[in-house]
Amino acid sequence: MSRLDSVLEAALARIDRAGRRRVLRPGALLPGGRIRRDGRTLIDFSSNDYLGLARHPLLAERAQAWTAAMGTGSGASRLVTGTSTEQLALEARIAAFKHCEAALIFASGWQANAATIPALLAAVPGAALFTDRLAHASMHAGIAMAGARQHRFRHNDLDHLDALLAEKGADAPARIVLVESVYSMDGDRCDMARLAAIAARHDAFLYVDEAHATGVLGPEGAGLSATVPGAVDLVMGTFSKALGGFGAYVAGSRVLIDYLVNAASGFIFTTAPPPAVFGAIDAALDLVPAMDAERAHLAALGDRLRTGLAGLGIDHGASSTQIVPAIIGAEEDALALSARLEAQGMLASAIRPPTVPPGTSRLRIALRAGHSAADIDALVAAIGAAL
């Protein structure tokens, strides 16, 4: 026992009473949009393996090959001995994929945002910071670490952003705008062309999190930032979702990346990821640009699901991507619906506050390229019957 166990038990009891206790349940991704859990094979509507690459043989083969050639660990942080020529070549590939001058790999998306944001703010004391209200928690963590004040604009309300930039940012030494291109709980997307125009008009530095767009949207899966070439100053994204592996990247100018190597503490003071991670990323970059058929299939599945939910009278918000929320409302109702679906062989996790606002508990339905139209129809029918 630890000296804090009694205090921690009381805290867990409070979480229990609020109906918000979470537990870890083992599972294993399977091909065809399936998952193995508790000895059963379920249709998986909860994982972010959008293109089905997590079980692709080429990623496994490349990870094994890089491990055989370079070992199981990197040995140190990147600035000590943890950088290889292969990693540098891989970062050059990522930069080319994102149409940027340079890129830097981080161990996770959370780490990338939480380390990059305070590094940027340290370079420009007094910068005015503007964030979408629904920006990811890792962005807010980075802002908190910097001790910076932020001006939050209403979700995807670019008129509000425009007004705030004019009102709050005109006299600041710099203006920095933080958004996601696709929002993870709502599946809606930012109007990148208009956002880029507003940022240019106010001479604002534009930081775009592409975690849920990389691989799925934009030309050759390069994300929505690729639809406005040269307009986004910093693009961040992950390899742990559509690219089927692990880790994250930040891409931008050569000067930006060189600065982060020297100023991003989450990069400087952590051991580099192992070679297997880099091998899987390298293989995914071979595959993703040619996966237009899978991207079109995902888009069609999303449209089919939204049509089905609307027919049941279920709000799916402004979703226009492979992420489709079925907004139920009360926490207990969302949990009960998720449990009924699991009993029928479908995994659709309930998302509750504080991840989403009170009264908007939902099933966050994440589509995978291995799903079929029949899978979507079965899900809609099951939701209708459960309700």
pLDDT digits (tens, 9 = 90+) for 311-340: 999 999 999 999 999 999 999 999 999 999
In three-state secondary structure terms, 327 is strand
Catalytic residue status for 262: no
pLDDT at 127 over 90: yes
Mean pLDDT of all residues in the chain?
96
Q: Identify which has the larger pLDDT, 91 or 387.
A: 91
Selected catalytic residue, list 44, 49, 180, 331: 180
**Is residue 48 annotated as a catalytic residue, yes or no?**
yes
| Cβ–Cβ < 8 Å for 86, 70 | yes
Bridge partners, residue 87, by sequence? none
**Active-site hit among 56, 98, 136, 297:** 136
Claim: this prediction has a pTM higher than 0.75: yes
Q: What are 226-244's pLDDT values in tens digits?
A: 999 999 999 999 999 999 9
48 Cβ neighbours under 8 A, 6+ residues apart: 212, 240, 241, 242, 366
- Residue 152 bridge partners (DSSP): 131
Dist. CA 118–CA 101, nearest whole Å: 22
> Pick the catalytic residue: 91, 209, 233, 375?
209
129-164 pLDDT, tens digit per residue, is 999 999 999 999 999 999 999 999 999 999 999 999
Q: What is the CA radius of gyration of the chain?
A: 21
Give SS3 for 357: coil
Would you tell me how many other CB atoms lie within 10 Å of the CB of residue 61? 13
56 is annotated as an active-site residue: no
Burial of 302 (0-12, 13-18, 19+ CB in 10 A): buried
Confirm whether 212 is a catalytic residue: yes
CA 142, 144, 148, 151 dihedral sign is positive
Nearest to 275 by CA among 73, 77, 89, 76: 73
Identify the residue whose tokens are 């966050």.
364
pLDDT at residue 185 is higher than 90: yes
In this structure, is the dihedral angle defined by the CA atoms of residues 153, 154, 155 and 160, taken in order, positive or negative?
negative
Which among 47, 48, 74, 156 is annotated as catalytic? 48
Place of tokens 């990069």: 267
> What is the predicted pLDDT for the residue at 1?
82
pLDDT of residue 22 exceeding 90: no
Note the pLDDT of residue 175.
98
Confidence band of 19 (pLDDT split at 50, 70, 90): confident
Active-site choice (138, 156, 184, 240): 184
Residue 250: Cβ-neighbour burial (10 angstroms; 0-12, 13-18, 19+): buried
- The angle, 0 to 180 degrees and rounded to 10, between the axes of the packed helices 57-70 and 275-287 is 140
Does the pLDDT of residue 387 top 90, yes or no?
A: no
| CA–CA dist 375, 65 (Å, integer) | 35
Provide φ and ψ at 168, rounded to 5°.
Answer: -105, -15
Q: Which amino acid is at 320?
A: S
Question: What pLDDT is stored for residue 18 in this prediction?
Answer: 83
- Is residue 241 annotated as a catalytic residue, yes or no? yes
